[in-house]
């Protein structure tokens, strides 16, 4: 089993180091190879996704990814910005199925911005289509407007599009995930306005015929954004397109009060996957040793489960994380003054990683 380790920028190196520590403490044999990605790769070799990094990712069973991005690269031309590394990897590896769980851990209920009773026990699985939609649709660009409200002026445009097989395969992923959970799927679209998402609704409805044991509900994206803060526990598996999934997954993550806890997986049809924390590179706290490594450690657990066929090792890591939380250890993002019982203690990145290894 080969794992590509891509730490990236900001807190990426610190959090990945803890996940690697955890992986090494398991009695499993992996080959791990590290490469630059994002701003770090641009600084070292002039491109956010160098060919060597891309080739390593392609040749690996899984990629463990930290985070990319830093303010200092914001003014580069788009093709050289750190974000292009993650978009390029998704596209090159065909990682169309993105799993973003939003789980509210029992001990962290108070950290949510919503009332505890609305989020206690929250366990939503967002399944975001990741290689289509307006993110990758062609054509896109800038030009002189030929028509519209201001003909002759500069304009910019992107293309929202989905083909039937693209929608079918993500719908299958969602229905199959629901079969292992509460057997309910909420498909989110904008069928009242967009042709692309009327088609999405039609195709999801067609695929649903193969899953009579799963209940399917459709919802417009604006209403879904509202329901996520009104009654989030009514939602179980939520499937949607690339752009709506980007937005709703951040919203759902915040409900849990602990974006530093949330892992994610992006899979292709061969079960090759990229695993990364749901949070970003947090350049403001980089290098301080205070970032929460748990989202990355839990991403490594997802990697063991989905790409490396080691479900027991995955469960061991997840249980170790729960144990560490129960023991009262908190990084600063999940620590709040006064809301804790005695025994709660603030720790840094490395101490948290060490505690998970000890619990294992």
Query: Which residues participate in the annotated binding site for Mg(2+)?
Result: 222, 246, 250
DSSP-assigned beta bridge partners for residue 156: 142
- 26 or 174, CB closer to ligand IPM? 174
| Sole binder of ligand IPM in the list 123, 158, 168, 246 (CB under 6 A) | 246
| Sole binder of ligand IPM in the list 1, 32, 76, 87 (CB under 6 A) | 87
**Under rule CB under 5 A, residue 83 binds Mg ion:** no
- 12 or 50, CB closer to Mg ion? 12
CB of 149 to ligand IPM, least distance (A): 28
CB of 282 to Mg ion, least distance (A): 14
Annotation says 222 is catalytic: yes
CB of 91 to ligand IPM, least distance (A): 11
- 3 or 97, CB closer to Mg ion? 97
Binding-site residue positions for substrate:
90, 100, 128, 222
> Hey, what are 56's tokens?
């390593």
- 253 or 321, CB closer to Mg ion? 253
Annotation says 333 is catalytic: no
- In the list ligand IPM, Mg ion, none, the entry touching 236 (Cβ below 5 to 8 angstroms by class) is none
- In the list ligand IPM, Mg ion, none, the entry touching 186 (Cβ below 5 to 8 angstroms by class) is none
Query: What phi and psi values does residue 210 have, to the nearest 5 degrees?
Result: -85, -5
**Under rule CB under 6 A, residue 158 binds ligand IPM:** no
CB of 228 to ligand IPM, least distance (A): 16
Select the span of 82-90, 164-172, 267-275, 351-359 touching ligand IPM (CB under 6 A): 82-90
Select the span of 15-23, 83-91, 115-123, 302-310 touching ligand IPM (CB under 6 A): 83-91
**Under rule CB under 5 A, residue 158 binds Mg ion:** no
Q: Which residue is nearest to Mg ion (CB)?
A: 246
**Under rule CB under 6 A, residue 236 binds ligand IPM:** no
| Sole binder of Mg ion in the list 123, 158, 236, 246 (CB under 5 A) | 246
> Hey, what are 36's tokens?
């630059």
Query: What phi and psi values does residue 237 have, to the nearest 5 degrees?
Result: -100, 125
Annotation says 246 is catalytic: yes
Annotation says 190 is catalytic: yes
**Under rule CB under 6 A, residue 251 binds ligand IPM:** no
DSSP-assigned beta bridge partners for residue 319: none
Annotation says 27 is catalytic: no
CB of 293 to ligand IPM, least distance (A): 19
DSSP-assigned beta bridge partners for residue 32: 3
Catalytic residue among 222, 230, 270, 271: 222
SS3 labels along the chain: CEEEEEEECCCHHHHHHHHHHHHHHCCCCCEEEECCCCHHHHHHHCCCCCHHHHHHHHCCCEEEEEECCCHHHCCCCHHHCCHHHHHHHHHHHCCCEEEEEEECCHHHHHHCCCCHHHHCCCEEEEEEECCCHHHCCCCCEEEECCCCCCCCCEEEECCCCCCHHHHHHHHHHHHHHHHCCCCEEEEEECCCCCHHHHHHHHHHHHHHCCCCCCEEEEEEHHHHHHHHHHCHHHCCEEEECHHHHHHHHHHHHHHCCCHHHCEEEEECCCCCEEEEECCCCCHHHCCCCCCCCHHHHHHHHHHHHHCCCCHHHHHHHHHHHHHHHHCCEECHHHCCCCCCCCCCEECCHHHHHHHHHHHC
- Whether the CB-CB separation of 108 and 258 falls below 8 Å is answered with yes
- 236 or 246, CB closer to ligand IPM? 246
Catalytic center residues: 135, 190, 222, 246, 250
In the complex, the residues that contact ligand IPM under the rule CB under 6 A are 83, 86-87, 246
């Amino acid at each position: 089993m080969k794992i590509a380790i891509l730490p990236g920028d900001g807190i990426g190196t610190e959090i990945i180091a803890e996940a690697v520590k955890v992986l090494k403490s398991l009695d499993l044999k992996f080959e791990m190879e590290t490469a630059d990605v994002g701003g770090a790769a641009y600084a070292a070799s002039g491109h956010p996704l160098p060919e060597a990094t891309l080739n390593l990712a392609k040749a690996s069973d899984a990629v463990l990814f930290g985070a990319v991005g830093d303010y200092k690269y914001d003014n580069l031309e788009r093709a050289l910005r750190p974000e292009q590394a993650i978009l390029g990897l998704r596209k090159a590896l065909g990682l169309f199925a993105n799993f973003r769980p939003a789980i509210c851990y029992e001990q962290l209920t108070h950290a949510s911005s919503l009332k505890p009773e609305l989020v206690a026990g929250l366990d939503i699985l967002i399944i975001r289509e990741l290689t289509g939609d307006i993110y990758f649709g062609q054509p896109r660009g800038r030009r002189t407007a030929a028509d519209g409200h201001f003909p002759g002026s500069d304009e910019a445009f992107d293309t929202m599009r989905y083909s039937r097989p693209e929608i079918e395969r993500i719908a299958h992923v969602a229905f199959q995930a629901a079969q292992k959970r509460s057997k309910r799927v909420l498909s989110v679209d904008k069928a009242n306005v967009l042709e692309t998402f009327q088609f999405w609704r039609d195709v999801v409805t067609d695929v649903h015929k193969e899953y009579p044991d799963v209940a399917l509900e459709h919802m417009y994206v604006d209403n879904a954004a509202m329901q996520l803060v009104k009654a989030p526990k009514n939602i179980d598996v939520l499937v949607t397109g690339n752009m709506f999934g980007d937005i709703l997954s951040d919203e759902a993550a915040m409900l849990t009060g602990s974006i530093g806890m949330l892992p994610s997986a992006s899979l292709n049809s061969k079960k090759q996957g990229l695993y990364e924390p749901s949070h970003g590179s947090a350049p403001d706290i980089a290098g301080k040793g205070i970032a929460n490594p748990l989202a990355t450690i839990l991403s490594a657990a997802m990697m063991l489960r989905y790409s490396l066929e080691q479900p027991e090792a995955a469960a061991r890591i997840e249980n170790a994380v729960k144990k560490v939380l129960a023991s009262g250890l908190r990084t600063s993002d999940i620590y709040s003054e006064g809301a804790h019982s005695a025994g709660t203690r603030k720790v840094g990145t490395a101490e948290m990683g060490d505690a998970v290894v000890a619990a294992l």
